[in-house]
Amino acid sequence: MSESAAKHILNLYDTHADAFARLRSRHLMEKAWLDKFIDLLGTRGTILDIGCGNGRPIADYFIQQNYQITGIDGASAMLARAQQQFPEQRWLNLDMRQLALNKTFDGLIAWDSFFHLTPEDQRQMFPVFARHSHPGSVLMFTSGTHHGIAMGEFEGEPLYHASLSPDEYRQRLAENGFAVIDVVFEDPDCGGHSVWLCQALIP
């Protein structure tokens, strides 16, 4: 079941885009982490939102702080909502695993998106992060707490999540030129999210 659920993620979010918009909390429990990200980023800059969904509430918060957003998502129904709500930003219907924009960004965020990839696909994403970063770029993503697969449910359908081990995340980040600035597992002040805040090394 887990293998088929992993392949079904984008279809699931396409099918249930309306339900996601209705059920996704507008209470910004992520704010403390988004502010840490901004503190490293500085007052101006470009942000690549990887798995941006409908743009709310994460991209919306950054837009309110006057950042320029490029959002990518493989679920076209979710992305259409982002385009409708924030037409002045750039929204691209792309699978993050094939991401090759030939440009770098001041910040990259993969909040509640990267962890829907299989462990092997996650391993392949670290060079993708590096190619879209320059020295000093900030990277933030959410993960699980240990290597393995965790199945959830959304609108009655299986919802796939996976994680590498913390040690492997550290290894992959270091190999691709990122320093870990902060990491908290199951942060009680952020709905139990496990969050990595990293920065591309400055030579």
Q: What is the CATH number of domain 2-200?
A: 3.40.50.150
Q: What is the pLDDT of residue 90?
A: 97
Cβ–Cβ under 8 Å, residues 150 and 161: yes
DSSP state string for the chain: -HHHHHHTHHHHHHHTHHHHHHHS--S-TTHHHHHHHHHHH-SS-EEEEET-TT-TTHHHHHHHTT-EEEEEES-HHHHHHHHHH-TTSEEEE--GGG---S--EEEEEETTSGGGS-HHHHHHHHHHHHHTEEEEEEEEEEE-SSSEEEEEEETTEEEEEEE--HHHHHHHHHHTTEEEEEEEEEEGGGTTEEEEEEEEPP-
With CA atoms as reference, report the closest residue to 83 among 102, 98, 70, 95.
70
Cβ–Cβ under 8 Å, residues 98 and 74: no
Which regions of the chain are under pLDDT 70? 1-26, 150-159, 203
Q: What is the pLDDT of residue 24?
A: 54
Q: What is the pLDDT of residue 157?
A: 62
Q: What is the pLDDT of residue 40?
A: 96
Q: What is the pLDDT of residue 121?
A: 93
pTM: 0.87
Task: Residue count of the chain, please give it.
Answer: 203
Q: What is the pLDDT of residue 159?
A: 67
Three state DSSP letters for 135-148: EEEEEEEEECCCCE
Q: What is the pLDDT of residue 43?
A: 81
Residue 112, burial from CB neighbour count under 10 angstroms (0-12, 13-18, 19+): middle
Report phi then psi at 159, rounded to 5.
-120, 115
Cβ–Cβ under 8 Å, residues 90 and 69: yes
Domain chopping of the chain, boundaries: 2-200
Whole-angstrom Cα distance, residue 116 to residue 104? Answer: 24
